A and B are shown apart, each in its own frame.
Chain A
Amino acid sequence: MVAKQLSVFIENRQGRLGEVLAVLKENGVNILSLSLADTTEYGLLRLIVNDSQLGKEMLSKEGFSTIVSDVLVVKIDHKCGSLQGLLTILSKENINVEYMYGLSLDGDQASVVIKTSHPEKAMEILKAQKISTLTNEDLKDM
Chain B
Amino acid sequence: MIWNKEMECMSRDKMTELQSERLVKLVNYVYNNVEFYKKKMQAIGLKPSDIKGVEDLYKLPFTTKDDLRDNYPFGLFAVPKSKIVRVHASSGTTGKATVVGYTKNDIEAWAECVARCFSMAGISNDDIIQVAYGYGLFTGGLGAHYGAEKIGAMTVPMSTGNSKKLITMMTDFQATAIACTPSYLLHLSELIKEEDLLSTIKLKTAICGAEPWTEEMRKQIESSLNISAFDIYGLSEVMGPGVACDCKYHKGLHICEDHFLPEIVDSKTKQPLGDNQLGELVFTTLTKEGLPLIRYNTKDLTEMYHGTCDCGRTSVRIGKFKGRADDMLIIRGVNVFPSQIEAALVGLEEVSAHYHIIVDRINNLDTLEIQVEVKEEYFTDEIRSIETLTKKIAHAVNQALGLNAKIKLVEPKSLTRFEGKSVHVTDKRKLY
Inter-chain contact A67/B382, CB cutoff 8 Å:
no
Give the most central of A39, A60, A64, A65: most B CB within 10 Å: A65
Inter-chain contact A11/B381, CB cutoff 8 Å:
no
Inter-chain contact B379/A65, CB cutoff 8 Å:
yes
Q: Interface digits, A56-88 against B, CB 8 Å rule (1 contact, 0 not)?
A: 000010011111010000000000000000000
Whether a CB of chain A sits under 8 angstroms from the CB of B383 is yes
Whether a CB of chain B sits under 8 angstroms from the CB of A5 is yes
**A98: chain B residues within 8 A (beta carbon):** 382
Whether a CB of chain A sits under 8 angstroms from the CB of B410 is yes
**B376: chain A residues within 8 A (beta carbon):** 60, 65-67
Q: Restricting to B334-386, which residues have a CB under 8 Å from any CB of A? A: 374, 376, 379-383, 386
Inter-chain contact B381/A7, CB cutoff 8 Å:
yes
CB < 8 Å neighbour of B381 from A42, A63, A69: A69
Inter-chain contact A63/B413, CB cutoff 8 Å:
yes
Inter-chain contact B412/A41, CB cutoff 8 Å:
no
Inter-chain contact B383/A11, CB cutoff 8 Å:
no
CB < 8 Å neighbour of B411 from A64, A67, A69: A64
Compute how far the CA of A60 lies from the CA of B380 in the bound complex, rounded to whole angstroms.
Answer: 14
Residue of A nearest to B380 (CB): A67
Main secondary structure, interface of A, reads strand
Residue of B nearest to A71 (CB): B381
Compute how far the CA of A10 lies from the CA of B411 in the bound complex, rounded to whole angstroms.
Answer: 7
Give the most central of B380, B381, B409, B410: most A CB within 10 Å: B381
Compute how far the CA of A45 lies from the CA of B400 in the bound complex, rounded to whole angstroms.
Answer: 33
Inter-chain contact A5/B381, CB cutoff 8 Å:
yes
Contact A11-B413, Cβ < 8 Å, known A60-B376, A65-B379: no
Inter-chain contact A65/B382, CB cutoff 8 Å:
no
Compute how far the CA of A67 lies from the CA of B287 in the bound complex, rounded to whole angstroms.
Answer: 63
Compute how far the CA of A21 lies from the CA of B386 in the bound complex, rounded to whole angstroms.
Answer: 23
Compute how far the CA of A18 lies from the CA of B376 in the bound complex, rounded to whole angstroms.
Answer: 21
Residue of B nearest to A6 (CB): B381
Whether a CB of chain B sits under 8 angstroms from the CB of A101 is no
Whether a CB of chain A sits under 8 angstroms from the CB of B414 is yes
Residues of B bordering A, CB below 8 Å = 374, 376, 379-383, 386-387, 408-414
Residues of A bordering B, CB below 8 Å = 5, 7, 9-11, 37, 39, 41-42, 44, 46, 60, 63-67, 69, 98-99, 115
**7 interchain pairs (CB within 8 A)?**
A39-B383, A42-B409, A44-B381, A63-B412, A65-B374, A67-B376, A98-B382
